[in-house]
Structure 1
Amino acid sequence: MMSAALGGLLLAEPAWSQDAPDSASIQDIIVTAQRRAENIQNVPIAITAISGDVLASTGIDATSGLIAITPGLNYTVAAGIFAQPKIRGIGTSSNGPGIENPVATYIDGVYISAMSASLLNLTDVEQVAVLKGPQGTLFGRNATGGLIQITTRQPEERPAMDFSIGYANLDTVTGSAYLNGGLTDGLAANVSVYYQNRGKGFGTNLANGRDVYAGRNIAARGKIRWQPGPTTTVTLSGDYAETTGSLPGMRVIDGGLNAIGLPFTGGPFDVSASLQPHARLEQYGGSLTIVQDIGSLEFQSITAARKSTNNTDLDYDATFLPIVNTYIGQYDRQFSQEFQIQPQSAGGLQWIVGGYYFWAKSGYDPTVTNGLAIPSGASSVQNSSTSVQSLAAYGQATLPLGEDTNVTAGIRYTTDLRKVNGRRDIVLPNGFIVATDISTGRKRFSEASWRLALDHRFSPELLAYASYNRGFKSGAYLIQAYPAEVLKPEILDAFEAGIKSDLFDRRVRLNLAGFYYDYKNIQVQLINNGLITAYQGSGAKLYGVDADLTVNVTGGLTLNAGASWLHHRYKSFTNAFTATPRVPVFPPPAAGPNGGNVIGTDDATGNRLQAAPDWTLNIGGNYRIDMGNGHLDLNANYYHNDGWYAEVENRVRQPAYDLVNASIAYSTANDGLTLSLWGKNLFDKVYAAFLAETDVGDLTTPAEGRTYGVTLSVRF
């Protein structure tokens, strides 16, 4: 799957630690889930944290691949570019300007609002931490379901260099480089570059014979870290990424009929599109982080700005006829400023207070839809935008009650001002505008989010905790509608209890969490007339259990496993949109569809949520063999997903599927060389990255099939 290559530069610290085979006990994992560095076993939050080495050895090179080793995480990708992560069933299947994920993505403390900028390549990442459950108190709006937290490597004065080059099937060439070192006393810098080019696609557009699932990713990231004295650290970061190529495209599901009443007869990765699926995504940004010690306190300022654009050609009707073709031009811009202060000491009362400002503007520039479905050869041209200004203040404190018990309380108040300015023209081929729709508006949304938690350490090896958290996803304007419709904020009340344990002289780590969610005002996907939009749904009740297990069997063999069980049902939902297959007639009508679906409404009360599997399971292991002049690493990972429904009516379902990744790598002892052979999705399982019921039919975009290759890397 094509991903914005920025993540190819992301660089951070372990949880599934690759260093563990060198020690009989499981190594400590440091995370910043509470905006301070802590051992993961001391944090009363369900977290899965993965080191960059583990990501590489398990074949996970994009955020969408984190499902393979993260219990409770599912990941869909709309139109091949819009990231839609879901944690414990909480997420969204909608997209468009101003629609933000309720699972937030953070890089070095900076929130990434645009969906197309959140699908990241994870080459050279040091650590990714997935925080489960609402994180709204410390991370704010749109961390309702949880958080994907990526931390990149800081520059150091010690020189370091990493280089890699690889070749894989489908004529795929990759290369990366990382340089780090001191410039002067107290001043260090690093720079990273990444390149990937897939020369051949997984499939073919049967309408023109061209490849799909092929393209190029390039990216660059640089950091400068200045420490003028022992109490001050200033870090300046900048990045650029571009993805260009043929998108996967959409096709009718097996057994379904398209808009003209025909089944799809190609292979699983083929499409039949009158408009070649294509995209160019570009994003760039920078951040300035200042950390200043003031007496016993630490003050931090994070200033960041980003811009991303995507230009996408999409054959919405998924047929060889030009019925509905969409040319998406979308931009996303954001600016954020955060201040926080907390004590430097790790003991006693721990607290943090902060303030946050966020501004973002998203829009079509423009988006054009045309084809046989629009009379007189006309085009629908949208030049619409929506913006948000958000202000928040927050505080959280953890108070020790004796030596082994802590109580945590925190609150955040956020106010968002949303604006919309929309225009849609119906334009004839001669340029004459025959109709215009105008939509303007402004609305303020204000919500509080909070956290209450109690944890108790029964022994050095066992922590138990219970918590109540409230999170919310910001309200929004649906700018595809005229007049623009208002989506109310989603609210999630989450109750969780869990244990974190290190057993058998820290050779076994078992973490368990059970949760109950009350989910209100769900923003639900609707795809109609060539647009992926949303509408206000009902509430839902969810509960389940997560488990993470790590076992150091020997000094060289480490096993990991995870499982998630989820019960999820909509509450009263009598106005749910449905898509009922249309029965073709012969001879076909002179005008109008002769297949696809009829959009209507029905009662979805008691149905399962979109894209939320009941069960997921992952099992993996790494075996290191000492060979005297080097070592050999054997790695394998298995993932099971028991399937999920595309829409709220629960008619079209992604069946259960299994994925296997594996690698074998030889590393020399002295000169830093590593040669690895790897494979992902080794049994070439076909499963959906995107699945939807629409007016033109039941459509799917398969995820990537089997890939395999060789990589040579050197580290100095």
Structure 2
Amino acid sequence: MMQPISRSTKSRVKPIASAIAAVTLTMPMYSTAAILEEIIVTAQKREQSLQDVPISVMAVSGDQLTALNRNEVSELSKSVAGFTVQAGSGDSERAVQIRGVGTSTFSKGVEQSVGTVIDGVVASGLVASFLDFSDVDRVEVLRGPQGMLFGKNASAGLLNVVTSMPSNELTYGFLASFAEENEQKYSAYVSGSLADTVKGRISLYENKRDGIVENVNPDVSGDYNDRNEWGANAKLLLEPTDKLSVLLNYRHNERDYSCCYRPAIEVVGPFASVIPSGKENTKINETGTGSPNTADVDVYIAEVNYDIGENTLTSITSFTDTQTYSNITATGLPVAVLADNSAYDDVNQITQELRWTTSSQETVSYVAGLYFYKNKLERSQNQLFTPLVTGLSTTSGFSADSAVESKSVALFGQATWNISDITRLSLGLRYNDEEVTLNQSVTNLVGSASFPNPERSTTVDDQSVSWRIIGEHNFTPDSMVYASVARGYKGPGANTLPSGYTSAEPIVAPEIPTNYELGLKSEWMDGALRLNANVFYTEFEDFQASLSDNQLPPQFYLANAGSLETQGLEIELAFQATDNFFLSANLATIDATFKSFDGAECYPGQTAAQGCVGGQQDLSGKDMPFSPDLAVNLFARYDIALQSLPFNAYLQGAYHWQDEVQYNTNNDPKTIQDSYGLADLALGVESKDGMYSLQLFVKNAFDTFYESGYSTQGSDFGVLLAHNVEYDYKRRVGIKLQMDF
């Protein structure tokens, strides 16, 4: 039976530690033969039970993601409360957020506040992290600053993806899924021994889907916001001795799709009668032939582990090549406004990690190592506005080339003092030496205003110390409380936007978080019930954000946006009620606000009485975007034994609910999504030998319309308000077949 993976939960800083303690003290004693499976994670660079890890971690197994038909990063929010993905005009414009914090900027010279590590290697950029979840063993979501052990930055949290390893025995299988809008998902794998000391695994996937946004333009018809991608992963595991293992890993991912058109909600001006609009509108009227987005990612990894006594020496070497292209010309108007808005990015990344891990049974156990990181981005960008936009007398645009090279050398370590069998104290330190170099040149097109610095070269060198202190104590063999304080770090960010020439700093200052956390890990009813909870408070200084000058056309630039704070409560429950009935729930209540953010851009139409002075407003005390105050995820599965048949049946349901949420940094009152809930249901059969399963599923069973983001524009563009819609903005029905041999 598929065992859903447990997940941790979040917290608001209130006096609720006593409430958590009261729950644990009054939990009834109950005995059942059914118990929850142990969850193994690598959140501290060693394999541990989730219940023994004194940080806020949620883990979702690959089996659960497959059972729920969720193979995109954006769908994790329906399994992990407090995890959100900000919609964008393409992969490189999206942003992952944890506890309401993530990096949202058009500049490609800045790294994400939420890092992504795949098979031990940090992703070279946001595009490289938006992989398909096929053949994944588990996905771990680590909340709070995580740069201590995981290579680089991760000031707000980390997405740690672990793909499946080669098996001892020969196994192979495939999956085929079909749903509305011609959605097709295929995946296959083969794994096993090639020789006595050699194992291998190869997996492939392909995803296709027709566009979900219809173009009603009579001259250029078609559907946009489709899905078209494929990928492969190959692993070769060499084990010449009992002490030595060498894992060679190659991954390739490709995307080629037209994205991301935003249908209009409100339209004014001369085109109001021909542009479809409305609250649930999914149609556009565009002259363009699509906004192409392509991504091509190749990752090469060599991991060597050598056991010396009870200790392990690990070396991880990686090279990543990422190439992306986009030409996002969609404006929502049936006339050509953006003749060109293309960008080509070529990113090469090299990492090297050396790590020494001692036995966890020592009085003082530790992980220590050296880390080297080099990332080079070469970016070519063109933007051309036509005179059709009100306020422009002639063609306006630019052509720009940017090169950003980031280097990082670090010493890191975390030691745990086992004071007694039930009490432990951990200390982590990381020293970073960061160097960021930016080289830019810009060419003005006819009619464009002059840039003050057509060429420039800047280098910033920064040193920092990050640290973490954790105390933990077991009140019983199955319950542990912990308290921690951590100071994180996210390195300097380079401004690759041409409009950045007018900003004060071509390379902005580092982003520094400080996190306080109090948590509980516990199991009850002889292992049938798992309860994890924590409260947290995090403050960020010099948060890196994208700002706009509110001109026409708008010019964006990177800047330090002052400070912000996020605080809340996270709770996770998992209950194996009987051998065939499982229930789980997780919730996050989060208050994420700008603590200090003077000089933010105004929203369209904002008046002086509403706080807009000179095109700027003070957002201090206002909400961070893409962070609902409350999010809840529920899951239930009931297995039905069919004694006289060669298969069993099951019913399952998942429900995601979130409070209203602000979708724009500028806190525009028009860009608030009301609270909503989504229910996914499934009915399936599984052979008793586990060789095949067939599932009929329904996404968004109650046909609840919702939006994943908004965009606002000035009245000069005609479209006042537009929205992002996801595939399941309406009810979708599908069927899936899975075979494993």
TM score, norm. by length of structure 1: 0.90
Paired residue type of 2:545: V
For the 8 Å contact 2:341–2:381, the answer to whether it is kept is no
**SS where residue 367 of structure 2 aligns?**
strand
Q: What does residue 614 of structure 1 align with? A: 629
| CA gap 1:542/1:258 in 2 versus in 1, 3 angstroms | farther
Q: Alignment partner for residue 220 of structure 1, among 215, 232, 236? A: 232
Deviations 1:546-588 (A, max 9, x none): 00000111111110101111123222322121123289xxxxx
Looking at structure 2, the residues matched to 439 and 627 of structure 1 have their Cα atoms a distance apart, in angstroms, of 72
Superposition pairs of residues 549-588 of structure 1, within 5 angstroms: 549-581=573-605
Check if 1:154 corresponds to 2:154.
no
For the 8 Å contact 2:177–2:185, the answer to whether it is kept is yes
Deviations 1:82-134 (A, max 9, x none): 34111111212223322221111111111003112222221232211111111
Paired residue type of 2:688: A
Superposition pairs of residues 227-242 of structure 1, within 5 angstroms: 227-242=239-254
RMSD: 2.7
For the 8 Å contact 1:204–1:271, the answer to whether it is kept is yes
For the 8 Å contact 2:293–2:325, the answer to whether it is kept is yes
| CA gap 1:493/1:604 in 2 versus in 1, 3 angstroms | same
Check if 1:687 corresponds to 2:706.
yes
| CA gap 1:95/1:434 in 2 versus in 1, 3 angstroms | closer
| CA gap 1:336/1:699 in 2 versus in 1, 3 angstroms | farther
Q: Alignment partner for residue 505 of structure 1, among 526, 534, 548? A: 526
Deviations 1:426-475 (A, max 9, x none): 2459xxx9998223211112222111000000001210000001112221
Deviations 1:617-676 (A, max 9, x none): 111111111223222222111111112223344223222221212222211123711111
Looking at structure 1, the residues matched to 260 and 703 of structure 2 have their Cα atoms a distance apart, in angstroms, of 16
Paired residue type of 1:575: G
Paired residue type of 1:707: R
- Once the two structures are TM-superposed, the CA of residue 265 in structure 1 deviates from its matched residue by 1.9
Deviations 1:247-276 (A, max 9, x none): 131344x24658977875266332333332
Check if 1:294 corresponds to 2:333.
no
Looking at structure 1, the residues matched to 191 and 578 of structure 2 have their Cα atoms a distance apart, in angstroms, of 34
Looking at structure 1, the residues matched to 689 and 253 of structure 2 have their Cα atoms a distance apart, in angstroms, of 34
For the 8 Å contact 2:167–2:199, the answer to whether it is kept is yes
Deviates more, 1:620-629 or 1:319-328: 319-328
Check if 1:169 corresponds to 2:180.
yes
Check if 1:708 corresponds to 2:733.
yes
- Once the two structures are TM-superposed, the CA of residue 166 in structure 1 deviates from its matched residue by 2.2
- Once the two structures are TM-superposed, the CA of residue 694 in structure 1 deviates from its matched residue by 4.9
- Once the two structures are TM-superposed, the CA of residue 313 in structure 1 deviates from its matched residue by 2.1
What is the total number of aligned residue pairs between the two structures? 684
Deviates more, 1:498-507 or 1:305-314: 305-314
**SS where residue 546 of structure 1 aligns?**
strand
**SS where residue 558 of structure 1 aligns?**
strand
Check if 1:519 corresponds to 2:529.
no
**SS where residue 580 of structure 1 aligns?**
coil
Q: What does residue 310 of structure 1 align with? A: 324
For the 8 Å contact 1:675–1:713, the answer to whether it is kept is yes
Deviations 1:329-370 (A, max 9, x none): 222221111110011454432101111111112232344434
Flag structure 2 segments of 5+ consecutive residues without an equivalent: 8-31
- Once the two structures are TM-superposed, the CA of residue 701 in structure 1 deviates from its matched residue by 2.1
| CA gap 1:553/1:489 in 2 versus in 1, 3 angstroms | same
Paired residue type of 2:599: N
Check if 1:15 corresponds to 2:5.
yes
Deviations 1:298-332 (A, max 9, x none): 10011111111221121253322222341222222
For the 8 Å contact 1:136–1:143, the answer to whether it is kept is yes
Check if 1:425 corresponds to 2:443.
yes
| CA gap 1:362/1:73 in 2 versus in 1, 3 angstroms | same
Q: What does residue 192 of structure 1 align with? A: 203
Deviates more, 1:319-328 or 1:176-185: 319-328
Runs of 4+ aligned residues of structure 1 deviating over 6 Å after TM superposition are: 258-263, 433-436
Looking at structure 2, the residues matched to 257 and 702 of structure 1 have their Cα atoms a distance apart, in angstroms, of 21
Paired residue type of 1:685: T
Q: Please state which structure has a larger fraction of its residues in strand.
A: 1
Q: Alignment partner for residue 78 of structure 1, among 58, 78, 88? A: 88
**SS where residue 55 of structure 1 aligns?**
helix
Check if 1:647 corresponds to 2:659.
no
Q: What does residue 489 of structure 1 align with? A: 510
Check if 1:547 corresponds to 2:571.
yes
Looking at structure 2, the residues matched to 157 and 581 of structure 1 have their Cα atoms a distance apart, in angstroms, of 64
**SS where residue 688 of structure 1 aligns?**
coil
Q: What does residue 270 of structure 1 align with? A: 283
Q: Alignment partner for residue 618 of structure 2, among 597, 603, 606? A: 603
For the 8 Å contact 1:259–1:317, the answer to whether it is kept is no
Looking at structure 1, the residues matched to 254 and 642 of structure 2 have their Cα atoms a distance apart, in angstroms, of 41
**SS where residue 708 of structure 2 aligns?**
strand
Q: What does residue 152 of structure 2 align with? A: 141
Looking at structure 2, the residues matched to 155 and 532 of structure 1 have their Cα atoms a distance apart, in angstroms, of 46
**SS where residue 384 of structure 1 aligns?**
strand
For the 8 Å contact 1:144–1:492, the answer to whether it is kept is yes
Check if 1:350 corresponds to 2:350.
no
Deviations 1:670-712 (A, max 9, x none): 3711111122233343433333445555443222224331111
**SS where residue 501 of structure 2 aligns?**
coil
**SS where residue 664 of structure 2 aligns?**
coil
Paired residue type of 2:724: T
**SS where residue 78 of structure 1 aligns?**
coil
Looking at structure 1, the residues matched to 542 and 266 of structure 2 have their Cα atoms a distance apart, in angstroms, of 34
Deviates more, 1:310-319 or 1:630-639: 310-319
Looking at structure 1, the residues matched to 120 and 459 of structure 2 have their Cα atoms a distance apart, in angstroms, of 29
- Once the two structures are TM-superposed, the CA of residue 531 in structure 1 deviates from its matched residue by 5.9
Q: What does residue 143 of structure 2 align with? A: 132
Looking at structure 2, the residues matched to 685 and 278 of structure 1 have their Cα atoms a distance apart, in angstroms, of 29
- Once the two structures are TM-superposed, the CA of residue 137 in structure 1 deviates from its matched residue by 1.2
Looking at structure 1, the residues matched to 707 and 189 of structure 2 have their Cα atoms a distance apart, in angstroms, of 34
For the 8 Å contact 2:213–2:263, the answer to whether it is kept is no
Paired residue type of 2:357: Q
| CA gap 1:541/1:670 in 2 versus in 1, 3 angstroms | closer
Paired residue type of 1:214: D
Check if 1:283 corresponds to 2:276.
no
For the 8 Å contact 1:59–1:661, the answer to whether it is kept is no
- Once the two structures are TM-superposed, the CA of residue 386 in structure 1 deviates from its matched residue by 1.2
For the 8 Å contact 2:519–2:532, the answer to whether it is kept is yes
| CA gap 1:671/1:690 in 2 versus in 1, 3 angstroms | closer
| CA gap 1:455/1:295 in 2 versus in 1, 3 angstroms | same
